[in-house]
Chains A and B, each alone.
Chain A
């Protein structure tokens, strides 16, 4: 397989970055299993970056599957729907994996539910029209996405209707679809690309049409040959390209993916639209297809439960709001040496304290690490070796950022562009002195942001 040629513009990679062990073997290639419908789902009213949604159901109210239960009010917010039929409970406060407390509506499942193969067919099965120009107009597509409550499923959970918006003033020439899944361990997107390429292609086509893109490119790392083949076969005559990218962390970061595919650098503090690109994850595209073609909301997602700490790692199709604990139990439970449950991948995921934590729209995986994964030497003084500089995909000097944070030196932090750090963790991963660089930088960013507000 070769880095793709001149047509795509990019070189299939970006500067710096790291090569952590992929550890995809735990769940790679395992067909997506449909989890049994849970007795109760808990749906936080804020699933995404941006504003929370307002509940539109009352306690003890009966809700049907797919019924709207939370309405997004602000522009950057999204709607919430019931993944199961049942009765709404009183709103409660819960703690999410990222440590935020927020209101949530729980639904107690009642009556017959769509399950198993039927659920799979309902969500990803059947025929997906791949050339819908003329059937739907861009505004219609945008509204379908808005109504379906779609957010980025790659982890960032940014409301998709804001990105796939025909009304932006900036012209979009390329839609880049993110199929990198560069985090170690995770295989949910890989498996989705293998098993539901038609839905992804259909969604990409619709989204690309909505934003007026001339090109649609799906970027996949070269460690996923089956996914690449499957997408290529499904793309047919749509003109959608599949770009084979170098396997390197963080290839799936929006900015670095855009660099790899179209060779443009999103300006610091800017958006992909500034370089004429709209971008979305493969799972998001499948959700877009379902929203537009079948008028169905986003209620389920594929989650990869993996790591040496789970007995039988699996790729699962799960309803939003199911608890992390239930998913782990579905996979045979934790092993005796399980040491940390991470929502997401090990590089950027959040450790989960409470197994009742619900799966949200942004949960791409549950990675359970074992003791030996976490045996990290005590941190020592910085020996100024510059390895963190060698790997930072943003071209920063992480040790200086950490120093600025530690000493509260704001001007040093600004001089070194501390706000450009997106906390990918490549620096801390590579540091021989095992300095918690990302923790320091987070503290420094908070400090810088506080002072900027003044």
Chain B
């Protein structure tokens, strides 16, 4: 080509509205934001919070107030230390706080709740680089820390407070009662939630309502609770089939933290796998571990350990379950 072809035409821009340029896609689903997801989780927790308030009264208020306050404060402080504007706006610290509070016994001392919250945000999340970067479920990291540090106050025996004004708090948790003395709780109590236990776990009904809401809204990946409950059911069937002892499959499902864990803890997106197949493996793994811990270990309940364990496997599961793309794999 000749030289005169290289001249650039000046752009005659008529006056009028200023338009910008940006790469495609030019639209985004405005209804879907991280904050909206977190708000959805908080909405789904309403029935659980209500049941906790109904059965444990001011113990529940106290626990939630402490955890919420410390989690929010810790989040603000840690993100300021890392030179980020406090991302409290995304609501994730509030979710961690409430879930941690609901996973503690009513009897837990104030410092256990506070330290648990601090550890949840500090070690569970900020150390990894904040929201989205953590490997483990922050609330469960906090809970595991205080459970090990204050084994007396938070162990199975710690749930019981013989002096309490609230009747259910004077009793052992259904799982402990069964493990230690073979007492089988009534299914109606387990379903309604009028038993001792961690604040949020006692009412199967409340967990189911909130959990189904989360799944229907697609905020939670339904495959995780579904596969977790399926795996737990299978093992429970084997267990009760091999040695009938009155603690039925439904007792296994409605008792302890299985439902609360399935819908609210295992479904934490950050620490669970991305792919559908991965989510099934992850859920099934948790369900299996919970049942193995319940049946074969000295602990009456194992949701927390099972979740943390499978969280550790999440990166591997993601790697194992890379989906086959449309049209098959490229021949490399």
- A contact set with B: CB distance below 8 Å: 14-15, 18, 20, 90-94, 103, 184, 255-256, 259, 265-270, 309, 325, 333-342, 346-356, 367-369, 373-377, 380-387, 389-390, 393-397, 399-400, 414-417, 419-420, 423, 425, 428-434, 436, 438-439, 442
Is B269 in contact with A383, judged by CB distance below 8 angstroms?
Answer: yes
- Contacts A383-B34, A383-B270, A420-B330 given: A376-B28 contact, CB under 8 Å? yes
Whole-angstrom distance between the Cβ of A446 and the nearest chain B Cβ: 13
Can you give 25 contacting A-B residue pairs, CB < 8 Å? A14-B326, A92-B9, A259-B326, A267-B328, A309-B17, A342-B24, A347-B27, A351-B22, A375-B30, A377-B33, A380-B87, A381-B130, A382-B132, A383-B34, A383-B131, A383-B132, A384-B272, A386-B269, A386-B273, A386-B274, A420-B326, A431-B32, A433-B34, A434-B28, A439-B23
Interface residue B16 (Cβ < 8 Å from any Cβ of A): yes
Once the chains are docked, how many angstroms separate the CA of A395 from the CA of B7?
45
Is B279 in contact with A386, judged by CB distance below 8 angstroms?
Answer: yes
Category for how many chain B residues contact A? 35 or more
Interface segment, one of B96-104, B142-150, B256-264, B317-325: B317-325
Is B32 in contact with A387, judged by CB distance below 8 angstroms?
Answer: yes
Is A346 in contact with B330, judged by CB distance below 8 angstroms?
Answer: no
- Identify the closest chain B residue to A352 (Cβ): B21
Once the chains are docked, how many angstroms separate the CA of A375 from the CA of B318?
33
Is A389 in contact with B274, judged by CB distance below 8 angstroms?
Answer: yes
- Identify the closest chain B residue to A348 (Cβ): B24
Is A380 in contact with B90, judged by CB distance below 8 angstroms?
Answer: yes
Is B37 in contact with A383, judged by CB distance below 8 angstroms?
Answer: yes
Once the chains are docked, how many angstroms separate the CA of A419 from the CA of B13?
38
Is B20 in contact with A255, judged by CB distance below 8 angstroms?
Answer: no
Q: Quick one: which of A15, A356, A399 contacts B12, CB cutoff 8 A?
A: A356
Q: Quick one: which of B9, B25, B33 contacts A94, CB cutoff 8 A?
A: B9
Once the chains are docked, how many angstroms separate the CA of A91 from the CA of B6?
8
**What are the residues of chain A within 8 A of B37 when measuring CB–CB?**
383, 385, 432
**What are the residues of chain B within 8 A of A340 when measuring CB–CB?**
19-22, 26
- B contact set with A: CB distance below 8 Å: 1, 4-9, 11-14, 16-30, 32-34, 36-37, 87, 90, 92, 130-133, 221, 269-276, 279, 318, 322-332
- Contacts A351-B20, A397-B323 given: A20-B27 contact, CB under 8 Å? yes
Q: Is the interface of B mostly helix, strand, loop or mixed?
A: loop
Is A354 in contact with B27, judged by CB distance below 8 angstroms?
Answer: no
Is B8 in contact with A93, judged by CB distance below 8 angstroms?
Answer: yes
**What are the residues of chain B within 8 A of A347 when measuring CB–CB?**
24-27
**What are the residues of chain A within 8 A of B221 when measuring CB–CB?**
385-386
Is B131 in contact with A380, judged by CB distance below 8 angstroms?
Answer: yes
Once the chains are docked, how many angstroms separate the CA of A386 from the CA of B20?
31
**What are the residues of chain A within 8 A of B12 when measuring CB–CB?**
355-356
Once the chains are docked, how many angstroms separate the CA of A387 from the CA of B275?
9
Is B28 in contact with A356, judged by CB distance below 8 angstroms?
Answer: no
**What are the residues of chain B within 8 A of A93 when measuring CB–CB?**
5-9
**What are the residues of chain A within 8 A of B322 when measuring CB–CB?**
397, 415-416
Q: Quick one: which of B11, B24, B29, B131 contacts A423, CB cutoff 8 A?
A: B24
Whole-angstrom distance between the Cβ of B134 and the nearest chain A Cβ: 10
**What are the residues of chain B within 8 A of A434 when measuring CB–CB?**
28, 33
Q: Which of B28, B130, B330 has the most CB of A within 10 A?
A: B28
Is A341 in contact with B25, judged by CB distance below 8 angstroms?
Answer: no
Once the chains are docked, how many angstroms separate the CA of A103 from the CA of B90?
49
**What are the residues of chain A within 8 A of B331 when measuring CB–CB?**
269
Whole-angstrom distance between the Cβ of A154 and the nearest chain B Cβ: 16
Is B28 in contact with A350, judged by CB distance below 8 angstroms?
Answer: no
Whole-angstrom distance between the Cβ of A436 and the nearest chain B Cβ: 7
Once the chains are docked, how many angstroms separate the CA of A90 from the CA of B27?
39
Is B22 in contact with A384, judged by CB distance below 8 angstroms?
Answer: no
Q: Quick one: which of A325, A346, A394 contacts B25, CB cutoff 8 A?
A: A346
Is B323 in contact with A265, judged by CB distance below 8 angstroms?
Answer: no
Q: Which of A374, A387, A394 has the most CB of B within 10 A?
A: A387
- Identify the closest chain B residue to A19 (Cβ): B29
Q: Which of B13, B14, B20, B27 has the most CB of A within 10 A?
A: B27
- Contacts A347-B27, A348-B25, A432-B34 given: A417-B7 contact, CB under 8 Å? no
Is B5 in contact with A394, judged by CB distance below 8 angstroms?
Answer: no
Is A91 in contact with B5, judged by CB distance below 8 angstroms?
Answer: yes
Is A438 in contact with B25, judged by CB distance below 8 angstroms?
Answer: yes
Is A356 in contact with B329, judged by CB distance below 8 angstroms?
Answer: no
- Contacts A397-B275, A434-B28 given: A334-B269 contact, CB under 8 Å? no
Known: A338-B16, A347-B24. 5 other contacts (CB 8 A): A333-B16, A339-B19, A353-B21, A373-B27, A375-B30
Once the chains are docked, how many angstroms separate the CA of A412 from the CA of B332?
14
**What are the residues of chain B within 8 A of A336 when measuring CB–CB?**
17
**What are the residues of chain B within 8 A of A309 when measuring CB–CB?**
17
Once the chains are docked, how many angstroms separate the CA of A333 from the CA of B331?
50
Q: Quick one: which of B18, B24, B26, B329 contacts A374, CB cutoff 8 A?
A: B26
Once the chains are docked, how many angstroms separate the CA of A75 from the CA of B317?
46
Is B328 in contact with A268, judged by CB distance below 8 angstroms?
Answer: yes
- Identify the closest chain B residue to A105 (Cβ): B5
Q: Quick one: which of B27, B272, B274, B325 contacts A184, CB cutoff 8 A?
A: B27
Q: Quick one: which of B29, B90, B326 contacts A395, CB cutoff 8 A?
A: B326
- Identify the closest chain B residue to A185 (Cβ): B27
Once the chains are docked, how many angstroms separate the CA of A394 from the CA of B324?
9
- Contacts A347-B27, A377-B33 given: A384-B132 contact, CB under 8 Å? yes
Is A396 in contact with B325, judged by CB distance below 8 angstroms?
Answer: yes
Once the chains are docked, how many angstroms separate the CA of A377 from the CA of B32?
10
**What are the residues of chain A within 8 A of B130 when measuring CB–CB?**
381
Is B17 in contact with A334, judged by CB distance below 8 angstroms?
Answer: yes
Is B26 in contact with A255, judged by CB distance below 8 angstroms?
Answer: no
Is A425 in contact with B24, judged by CB distance below 8 angstroms?
Answer: yes
Is A355 in contact with B326, judged by CB distance below 8 angstroms?
Answer: no
Is A350 in contact with B24, judged by CB distance below 8 angstroms?
Answer: yes
**What are the residues of chain B within 8 A of A368 when measuring CB–CB?**
19
- Contacts A268-B329, A425-B25, A432-B34 given: A92-B5 contact, CB under 8 Å? yes
Once the chains are docked, how many angstroms separate the CA of A353 from the CA of B23?
12
- Contacts A342-B26, A354-B11, A385-B269 given: A432-B21 contact, CB under 8 Å? no
